[in-house]
């Protein structure tokens, strides 16, 4: 299964935020959209960075003063690890595990095409296992 298969079901809409926005803006967008990360992009197509709930929480623990007024660019993770629509789900899962990240932007020729979360990967993997189980049961039952 490829990332394109997940995006075909999930959709390719990605919530982005410009680097000049404040951390308070990030918090508001994360809450409003009920998501865990935003891609930092000047135009909604090119990836400058990524900022997640985890980034904010970790900074709250060590640099809480004025955090909400800081710019997204000051706290975002960059460079960003990405995958393509043709990436195999197992490869993306390994990337997420190895890098200890929960969100991976999907890009093609430098243009943002979607955002993959660890939840998307788990859901797709469970669905594939369920399809495989049903196929095996049907095969065994047909004998």
Q: Does domain 3-141 have CATH number 3.10.580.10?
A: yes
DSSP assigned state of 108: E
Task: Give residue 141's pLDDT band: very low, low, confident or very high (50, 70, 90).
Answer: confident
Task: Give residue 140's pLDDT band: very low, low, confident or very high (50, 70, 90).
Answer: confident
- Residue ranges of domains in the chain: 3-141
pTM: 0.88
- Assess contact for 23 and 68: CB atoms under 8 A: yes
Region class of 37: left (phi > 0), else alpha (psi between -120 and 50), else beta? beta
Give the DSSP H or E segment for 51. Answer: strand 49-52
Residue 143 scores a pLDDT above 70: no
Selection from 28, 16, 32, 25 nearest residue 115 by Cα? 16
In whole angstroms, give the CA distance from residue 121 to residue 114: 13
DSSP assigned state of 2: B
């Amino acid at each position: 299964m490829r990332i394109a298969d997940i995006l075909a079901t999930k959709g390719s809409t990605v919530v982005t935020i410009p680097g000049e926005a404040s951390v308070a803006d990030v918090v508001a967008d994360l809450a409003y959209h009920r998501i865990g990360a935003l891609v930092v992009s000047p135009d909604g197509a090119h990836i400058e960075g990524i900022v997640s709930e985890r980034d904010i929480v970790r900074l709250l623990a060590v640099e809480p003063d004025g955090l909400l007024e800081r710019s997204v660019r000051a706290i975002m993770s960059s460079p960003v690890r990405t995958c393509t629509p043709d990436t195999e789900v197992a490869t993306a899962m390994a990337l997420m595990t190895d890098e200890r990240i929960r969100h991976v932007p999907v890009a093609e020729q430098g243009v943002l095409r979607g955002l993959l979360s660890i939840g998307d990967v788990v859901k797709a993997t469970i669905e594939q296992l369920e399809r495989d189980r049903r196929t095996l049961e049907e095969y065994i039952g047909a004998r």
